[in-house]
Structure 1
Amino acid sequence: MYREVPGSVGDLGAACPPKPHPRSLSTSWRGRARVGRHCWARQDAEARFPLSTKWRGGQGVRPRRAASSERYNPAPVKPRFRPVLVLAALLAACSGARVQPPPVPAPAPPPAEAGKASFFFPVEIPLAEVRRIVEESLPPRVSDEQKQEISSALQDDYYRYALERGPVEVGFTGGLLTVSFRVRGSLTVGGKLAGLPVHETVDIAGRVRGTASPAITPDWRPDPQPTARIELDRADLQVLGAFSISVRGFLQERLNPVLDQELKRAAGRLLADLALRRKAGEAWRSLHVSRRAVKDENLWVRFQPLELSLARLTLKDGVLHTGIGIAGQLSLSLGTVVPPPAVTLLPPLRVDSEHDAERGGGFDLEAPVQASPEELSRWTDRALRGQRFRLSRDREMEITGAGLGVDGDRMVLALDFQTGGRDGRLVLRGRPAMDAGTSLLRLADLQYDLASGGPFLRLADRLHRAEILERLQKSARLDLAPLLGQAESGTAHAVQGLFPPGLHGEVRIDPVRILGLGISGGAVWARCRMTGTISPLAR
């Protein structure tokens, strides 16, 4: 619409619109004619007095008179061209109604800096395995010989006993391990009676019963609180008919403390063999992590464990159930690599309720995902390029390029497109929102602008704007299901890769849920929740 007068310098070098015929001007163009009259006057002057561009002795540019035949003499515009000029004026004045952005409301509060996540690694211990460990821990034979006053009738009193145990039976009742086994052996009591050496031996048989708590202190020490009692079939022992000894009371007084110690030692051995502390420590260290969450995507996850817990033991179908729980802070970022947290020492252990031990293994992740506009733009272009959208019954629009940015509280989606062999660019603005129960990202309060395109596209935009906006509102949805599907499989692989040695289980991911979307600090964020299950980990 504008041209530059050849050979003009200084103020005469300004760009001016061409001078139209007065009779061809519409009302709006007459206003423009008045405003630009000084430009057209300069054009007439230059037409009459063209400037030479040749330097003459350093005196600058000097004008020369033009021949009278070169003077400007405008020709009238023929009537058949008037509709073309009117259409050109319309397209120039109305190049697609520009959408004015709405007033920007107060920015939404930013999401929490870090989300939360908890992992529960279940551990199954067959009761037969516990019995084996206790069996190996308890000595097969107990014996002792001591000099001790037994009766005032004896001098140089002494006793000697030897007991052999039978197979160990192990159970679990009321949160306590129960231990039981048969014993057989003999008890000998001797000394000097009236200066003569005497001794008496009696065979004994009975059963030892005991309980031990599987409790562990906050500093990972076993706290079995054992109680063991021997129950004998034989009650009394007669020594040469001079006096009698209560075998039951005599041995209980001496054997019960010994059995308590053996049971305590067995509980410590059981805890050591289960290696719960070692496994918890390995899991704790391995979960201080920052790694790529999705293969071939610049999505990073960072987890810092803060709490450690152990579920109480429960028994079901001959199997003891417990588990290691680790909770901490979780953050995800799209486009920004975050360093792993520094590894910390094991915190004090917390023991959960019995209900926690009965739940299945799994994890619960809830965290804000913050995405830089650059990374979102790259991902959007890859997701939308080549997509086709129907604008009308007989017209489609193919996306040839896409970019995503932010403006205040709105997302700005720029789409390069082709339709009917013509190229153009649409700019869509709206607030990010998710359709309930779906993985579709849409722009609420959608507005659009035809940022570039030829006269045909601009005229179509002018005439069919309401219809195009309605079509865009229905079609401008980005299905996040492919990315979320990759996140699910990638997270399953990532969680499985976090298992320390000795903890191996199958990970299953429930569908990712997006709890909220927003824009804050020039970046787009979404708060997501992901849950999954971890199969029980048999020892």
Structure 2
Amino acid sequence: MHLTKVRTEFSMCRHTFFAFFSSFVYVPVLGLLGVMFGCKSATTTQPKAPAEAYQHTNMEIQSEKHKSVVHVPVELSIAEVTKQLNVQVQGIIYEDNSFNDDNQDNFKIKVWKRSPIIAEARDSLLFYTVPLRIWAEKAYKISPLGIEISGSQSTEFQINLKFMTRFGIDPNWQVNTQTVSAGFDWVTKPSVKVAGIDIPITGLVSRKISENLGTISKSIDDNVRKNFIIKPYIVQAWNLIREPRLLSEEYRTWLVVTPTDILATPFEIQNGKISTTIGIRGFTQTLLGEKPATKPVVDVPNLIITDKVPQGFQIGLIGVVPYEEAARLAAAQFIGKTFDFKDGIYKIEVTEVDIYGQNDKLVIKAGLKGSINGFIYLKGIPYYDAATRLLSLKNVDYDLSTRNVLVQTANWLLQGRFTKQIEQEFVFPIGSQIDEAQKAIRQQLSTRKVAKGIDLGGRLDTLIPDQVYLTPTSLVALVVAKGRIEVKIDGLL
């Protein structure tokens, strides 16, 4: 008798067959006969649901901070320094107009700037040449042949004073210079005539000039200290950096930088410029919601002098998928989809999908009908796949309670095919969110003047997946954008 005929006759006489043997045959044997003759009853699964639990809140993720440094290159043209010195140094630089008793040299002197001051850089020092015209008058008393003759004679001559200056900056933001004399050169030498005789006074004048070189050096330092002011610009840059930047209007995402301290390298003098690099160090955050409130500061921390300002600006870009949206996307992908096993002997259809979190794993609750009726629970670790730009799952497997139930009732479902398909197809597109945030940051970093003497510019170089967090409301993917931001200060004089 063919198997198909056996199945038909068995079905027709099923009631009589069961009634006749019910008192003699155990239920397990009937179940075995049912399978042998093609009569498979569906299994109902009721595993214990994994507990919902979260290690992170939305606010904690937004509060995740990335260490960053905003570079603030400061450059000052040597030509501009020289120009300011020439503006400040005008008219009589020094004079002594008395022949009083304290003036034992009986010497009067007046000093003018003869032509513009010249400056050049050598070996990280700034060298000045100050061309001067000097008028001097010498009082005298002589007694030739016992006859006392007194009077005074004047002369004019020219010299070039030389100075060298080293630039520095104090922790309180005061620019300081250390200017010392590098000597002087005679252009014309002084002498006076007494009774028709030329009397050289070069030594006397040299001594007088040398006595006043310290005063001239101090005058140069005071002038630079007065006119080379950095701190107000740094306060502007500090407040500019703290201003929240809108990254996504749709998702109401804001970039917030919280500065903490300021570093600076020693001044360098090269390529016609006096320069230093200031680094405003702090933390970046990506916040969601209304624009964060900030209040401008009027002061900044003291400066930390360092040999090198570290590079690297990091921004956390956030991609958010609410659980409701994730469940909707998953339902569209899986509900109504049929899976078969053991060459079609077993079939299941997905009827329902729900999603929630358990610490670092995403829990998938799947409703099934067919060879299994009821619910099963799977878990997977969410991650951002940079290659596909999708929020995906890895290491998808059955929850322990579901696995224990399936071992007893539907071992065929544990062969891995179902979990692999879930893992491959359970994906959420968030690339557009990341793109939008990245584009917004690049627009914010495009070189532009934000205030007089202050330009903002920068770039993003790389995107590095960081972590996917599960919060009570959403899957949140964090991608770190690394690059460089500069706030360039110019026109300090």
Same fold per superposition (TM over 0.5): yes
- What is the Cα deviation at residue 467 of structure 1? 3.2
- What is the Cα deviation at residue 311 of structure 1? 3.3
- Return the letter of the residue paired with 1:307: D
Correspondent of 2:417 among 451, 467, 489: 467
Partners in 1 of 2:252 and 2:351 — Cα distance? 23
- What is the Cα deviation at residue 171 of structure 1? 2.4
- What is the Cα deviation at residue 285 of structure 1? 2.4
Correspondent of 1:183 among 125, 129, 132: 132
Q: How many residues are matched?
A: 428
Correspondent of 1:131 among 82, 90, 98: 82
- Return the letter of the residue paired with 1:510: D
- What is the Cα deviation at residue 196 of structure 1? 5.0
* Equivalent residues in 2 for 1:46-445, closer than 5 Å: 89-90=41-42, 93-94=43-44, 114-139=65-90, 141-148=92-99, 157-190=106-139, 196-229=149-182, 231-233=184-186, 237=191, 240=194, 245=201, 246-272=203-229, 276-290=230-244, 292-334=246-288, 340=294, 343=297, 345-353=299-307, 355-356=308-309, 363-365=312-314, 376-377=322-323, 380=326, 405-412=356-363, 429-435=379-385, 439-445=389-395
Check 1:136–1:31 CA distance in 2 against 1; reply closer, same or farther (3 A cut): farther
Partners in 2 of 1:410 and 1:501 — Cα distance? 51
Check 1:481–1:529 CA distance in 2 against 1; reply closer, same or farther (3 A cut): same
Partners in 1 of 2:185 and 2:353 — Cα distance? 87
Residues 263-305 of structure 1, C-alpha deviations (whole Å, 9 max, x = no match): 1133124413xxx222100122233344543332233443321
Using the TM superposition, name which of 261-270 and 142-151 deviates more. Answer: 142-151
Partners in 2 of 1:201 and 1:437 — Cα distance? 87
Q: Is contact 1:303–1:331 with CA below 8 Å preserved after alignment?
A: yes
- What is the Cα deviation at residue 208 of structure 1? 1.9
Unpaired runs of 5+ in structure 1? 1-19, 33-82, 393-398, 417-423, 450-460
Larger strand fraction of residues? 2
- Return the letter of the residue paired with 1:114: K
The percentage of aligned residue pairs carrying the same residue is 15
Partners in 2 of 1:343 and 1:22 — Cα distance? 93
Q: CA RMSD in A?
A: 5.1
- Return the letter of the residue paired with 1:515: D
Using the TM superposition, name which of 334-343 and 498-507 deviates more. Answer: 334-343
Q: Does 1:446 align with 2:396?
A: yes
Q: In the alignment, which residue of structure 2 is the partner of 1:509?
A: 460
Check 1:153–1:525 CA distance in 2 against 1; reply closer, same or farther (3 A cut): closer
Partners in 2 of 1:211 and 1:400 — Cα distance? 85
Q: In the alignment, which residue of structure 1 is the partner of 2:10?
A: none
Q: Is contact 2:453–2:489 with CA below 8 Å preserved after alignment?
A: no
Partners in 2 of 1:365 and 1:124 — Cα distance? 25
Q: Is contact 2:121–2:127 with CA below 8 Å preserved after alignment?
A: yes
Unpaired runs of 5+ in structure 2? 1-13, 28-36, 340-349, 368-373, 400-410
Q: Secondary structure at the match of 1:297?
A: coil
- Return the letter of the residue paired with 1:263: I
Q: Is contact 1:301–1:333 with CA below 8 Å preserved after alignment?
A: yes
- What is the Cα deviation at residue 120 of structure 1? 0.8
Check 1:314–1:238 CA distance in 2 against 1; reply closer, same or farther (3 A cut): same
Q: Does 1:489 align with 2:439?
A: yes
Residues 222-252 of structure 1, C-alpha deviations (whole Å, 9 max, x = no match): 2212223551415664562597531452332
Check 1:300–1:425 CA distance in 2 against 1; reply closer, same or farther (3 A cut): farther
Partners in 1 of 2:88 and 2:136 — Cα distance? 24
Q: Is contact 1:206–1:231 with CA below 8 Å preserved after alignment?
A: yes
Partners in 2 of 1:232 and 1:324 — Cα distance? 39
- Return the letter of the residue paired with 2:66: G
Partners in 1 of 2:366 and 2:283 — Cα distance? 38
Q: TM-score, normalised by structure 2?
A: 0.67
Residues 416-448 of structure 1, C-alpha deviations (whole Å, 9 max, x = no match): 9xxxxxxx9997531223558775543222136
- What is the Cα deviation at residue 338 of structure 1? 5.5
Partners in 2 of 1:189 and 1:414 — Cα distance? 107
Check 1:405–1:187 CA distance in 2 against 1; reply closer, same or farther (3 A cut): farther
- Return the letter of the residue paired with 1:485: D
Q: Is contact 2:361–2:382 with CA below 8 Å preserved after alignment?
A: yes
Q: In the alignment, which residue of structure 2 is the partner of 1:52?
A: none
Q: Is contact 2:323–2:474 with CA below 8 Å preserved after alignment?
A: no
